[in-house]
Structure 1
Amino acid sequence: MFAVCATVLLYLTSGSHSAPLSCEELVRPLDQLEPHHLEGRWALVAGSLSHPASLDALKLRDSITMYFLNSSETSTTSYTQINRFGDLCQNLPYNISMKGSTFSFDVGNRFNLTGTFLQTSCPDCMVMRWDVESKRRVSLDLYLISRRRELELKEMEEYKAQLECLNLPPPVMMDPTKELCPEQTSSEPAAAQTQEKTDKQQA
């Protein structure tokens, strides 16, 4: 009798641990983001966008690297995104203002970009929600970035569950075999300007 009770208790306990998280938990913002945890280089692992044209544009990138550097002002962070297109590396530097787990990009009057860091069980990952609004588009984006290029299956499943909760399409997966751009690069000016113009048009 004791053995039966112990087996049932073990089953209930294991079942409680494997129960899927609710959408409320999956898309909950981080309680607090430590700036030192954010600093440094991150690679985009996957991304999904509600705006179809922008989602297609993401598929054209071979890799995306994101650098965060906290300034002397704790509320201001330097953000640089480096997109690789074949042999071309495109640098896009911005300043972002942060408060807790929320942030906003300083992009002038071109468009409004605010965001939130969401909860994730992945120890060396960040999930970034971007809310983009401009004359050309309104988009909800969700990016999974990590210190690693490849993640475990359970980590990817959690991210995909977050996408489903936000009614976003299946993610664009970045190829981990594609090389990342270095932090400092000298790219072809004409090509970089052309791509930057494309990005602004999509905004």
Structure 2
Amino acid sequence: MLLIILTAVLLLAGLSAPLTDCDTLTQQVQIQSREQFFGTWTFGAESSDIKGTHDLGKIFVRKLWGRVYPSNQSDHFYAFQVFRMTDTYCYSITSKLTLVNNTVHMEHPLSATEVLLKTSCPDCILFLSNTTIGEHTYRFLQILTKRPSLTSDELEEFKQQAACLNFNEPIILGPPRSCPDSPDTKIVDFNMAFIQSTPRFKEIFYLI
């Protein structure tokens, strides 16, 4: 009987601990102001609830960095992102963002809402987003840092947070390289491509 009781206690402890940890790891935090997003950021890691994106991301997305800067309107700001998918091409995209009721809203080039989650990384921001692509809405988890890369402990915490959300194994992005970094490297503006593309193209591209 004692063995049964001990086993039950251990099972209950094993089941309850992850729930408590996950409540802490996925806790939403208050956004102080849009100014806390300003500056240049390195995308350290990303995960989502879309099946198969981990392998695609490892193949296609090599480096990713972004710069967030203000607009003339007090409630708007912009995010300029550059990512490398081939040796000869870098791709850029600019998003217009709005901060309303502790949520970041994006309308272009895709419709998305983003909130901040708790992270122990001192110079990071951790976004949980709901992004609509075509007729579908997907969830993404992204961690950005002011440094070239995350520490092993920060990456481990991010993996645990993704697991708590039942997301895929995270894609770990290496330190960014400037684009273009040679005379042979070209930058392609993807904003016009998104405007002129079909919903299916947007879905396929963003899922990569």
Write the letter of the residue equivalent to 2:177: E
- In the alignment, does 2:180 pair up with 1:179? no
- In the alignment, does 2:104 pair up with 1:92? no
Cα gap change, 1:96/1:188 in structure 2, threshold over 3 Å: closer, same or farther?
closer
CA drift at 1:115 = 1.1
User: Which stretch has the larger CA shift, 121-130 or 132-141?
Assistant: 132-141
- Secondary structure of residue in 1 paired with 2:156: helix
- Secondary structure of residue in 1 paired with 2:114: strand
Write the letter of the residue equivalent to 2:81: Q
- Secondary structure of residue in 2 paired with 1:200: helix
Is residue 28–residue 117 contact of structure 2 (8 Å, CA) maintained in 1?
yes
Partner of residue 40, structure 2: 41
CA drift at 1:40 = 1.1
Partner of residue 200, structure 1: 202
CA drift at 1:188 = 5.2
- Secondary structure of residue in 2 paired with 1:130: strand
CA drift at 1:30 = 1.8
In structure 2, how many angstroms separate the alpha carbons of the residues matched to 1:172 and 1:180? 20
CA drift at 1:94 = 1.3
Is residue 51–residue 137 contact of structure 1 (8 Å, CA) maintained in 2?
no
In structure 1, how many angstroms separate the alpha carbons of the residues matched to 2:115 and 2:135? 22
Partner of residue 81, structure 1: 81
Runs of at least 5 residues in structure 2 that lack an aligned partner in the other structure? 1-16
Write the letter of the residue equivalent to 2:42: A
Is residue 44–residue 144 contact of structure 2 (8 Å, CA) maintained in 1?
yes
TM-score (norm 2): 0.72
Partner of residue 65, structure 2: 65
TM-score (norm 1): 0.74
In structure 1, how many angstroms separate the alpha carbons of the residues matched to 2:120 and 2:82? 26
CA RMSD between the two structures = 3.0
Partner of residue 7, structure 1: none
In structure 2, how many angstroms separate the alpha carbons of the residues matched to 1:54 and 1:132? 15
Is residue 124–residue 146 contact of structure 1 (8 Å, CA) maintained in 2?
yes
Identity %: 22
Cα gap change, 1:116/1:188 in structure 2, threshold over 3 Å: closer, same or farther?
closer
> Which aligned pairs between 1:35-184 and structure 2 lie closer than 5 A?
35-52=34-51, 54-59=53-58, 60-85=60-85, 86-99=87-100, 101-107=102-108, 112-176=111-175, 179-181=177-179
CA drift at 1:43 = 0.9
Is residue 54–residue 169 contact of structure 2 (8 Å, CA) maintained in 1?
no
Aligned residues: 178
In structure 2, how many angstroms separate the alpha carbons of the residues matched to 1:156 and 1:201? 27
CA drift at 1:199 = 5.7
In structure 2, how many angstroms separate the alpha carbons of the residues matched to 1:140 and 1:174? 19
Runs of at least 5 residues in structure 1 that lack an aligned partner in the other structure? 1-18
